[in-house]
Chain A
């Protein structure tokens, strides 16, 4: 703890600091409450989407397994050549309580049977089903990418805020209060000493006056 000068000015300064720290703590606590509220709101979406993603993934893998078994991996890979393409997404950003979170373009990857780039007569319904399910999975992954990143950033911000609040509550404010207390004690001590000294001086002066009176 920093050694403070035991003056009234210093006491006023420290008291102002305590007031400021407490105001900051309250504000941070309010921000944390708002972030937590936002966090749980997004988390509900994420956990629903997660379950959906897991279900669609299991179903897509089952369909892939079936297609590879019946149509041969060669036919599945051949169809995959026809449908292979990059996925380009526009990413922008927004602020949630001062936390920057990404906003991904809501691009739908799912396509109709006639839009996949192969002739429907040359590809079995099983392979089509695989493409359809994995496209849906990709759509969900894109949607989840935005919400999960937001969730992670909000989580990090909540943690950081909590650390700040804790630091203010457990360290900064108690230290400032301790400092103010010490300054106050030091000032009071000095006041008492001054009073005692004044009384002593007054006593000496009185005694001297009485002695002079007696001599006269």
Chain B
């Protein structure tokens, strides 16, 4: 894509970014006394259209959450339309493909317990490459094998890891086998699509992806150590190709005796911020607290892409991260207002960028 195309697409994205809610706007939302007041305030923002549409079917918190989800889907599809070149689309799709992963996992989970397709469809968010029609078709398949066959028929690349692991799944009936194969495939496939040529835009997405691999590996190590799982083959648990943590470092961490030991080992890395969580959280091995810090780190890193070359993929990448974070923040505010959660607790889980 030449700079001319980027200038047009990124100018529109910058305009969209200016409509994202800043800290002051979020603070105003936090001070709303109830859900109705919050809806009224959100109707003054970019969420107006989706809130009005969602208002036909739902009320209260469900209306807000539905509108947020639909707005996210609409926005991501709009971003994809901004770019005509396949190369840029690939980079953006790599970021959006995690929604496909989530949707395929939801369908597989539903099929495993023979859930009705309506129940499965309620939990799908078509923000990735697979649109709603495709997801509905997948959810209507009779079983897991049929879902994988249909993905293969459509030549969707996720069929590959699923087909490879299907036999193992059928023998052990543990869905985690298929899910982990999907996660691993996502990271490895995306990494190989982004490596090779010396492309600045691809480099930005690759940098984020490698950091995500690090985060995924840290999350895995934290759980393995907390649950005291005996790891015979580290390659079965870890994903290669992280940014700051080598495979050997991670293998060493797998042998740690406690979460505190892992955090100590991370002090020499950019993940040293994990040492800042409360001592009690470390002692009681509250992984969710550490994970929230890792998520914050990723959000901030993703959003910092705005500071990179304005005529590159950095702008859409930054916008996608910022938009996702905004949606999460609004959802936190809405749920906290509904549950009468104290403001301090609400702010503790929010991320300002």
Using a CB–CB distance below 8 Å, which chain A residues touch chain B? 63, 65-66, 68-70, 72-75, 77-79, 81-82, 84-85, 112-114, 116-122, 124-126, 128-129
Contact = CB atoms under 8 A, between A and B. Distances in A.
Contacts of B349: 66, 69-70
Interface in B295-351: 295, 328, 331-332, 334-336, 339, 341, 349
B341 A65 contact: yes
A79 B336 CA distance: 22
Contacts, number: 118
B291 interface: yes
Nearest to A127: B288
B175 A117 contact: yes
B110 A72 contact: no
Nearest to A75: B102
A125 B69 contact: no
B65 A72 contact: yes
Nearest to A126: B288
Interface residues of B, number: 49
Contacts of B122: 74, 77
A120 B156 CA distance: 23
A111 to B, nearest CB: 10
- A interface: dominant SS: helix
B65 A73 contact: yes
A125 B291 contact: yes
Contacts of A113: 223, 226-227
A108 to B, nearest CB: 15
A77 B292 CA distance: 20
Contacts of A73: 65
B174 interface: yes
A124 B291 contact: yes
A119 B105 contact: yes
Contact of A128 (B174, B179, B287): B287
B345 to A, nearest CB: 9
B328 A114 contact: no
B182 A119 contact: yes
A65 B339 contact: yes
B267 interface: no
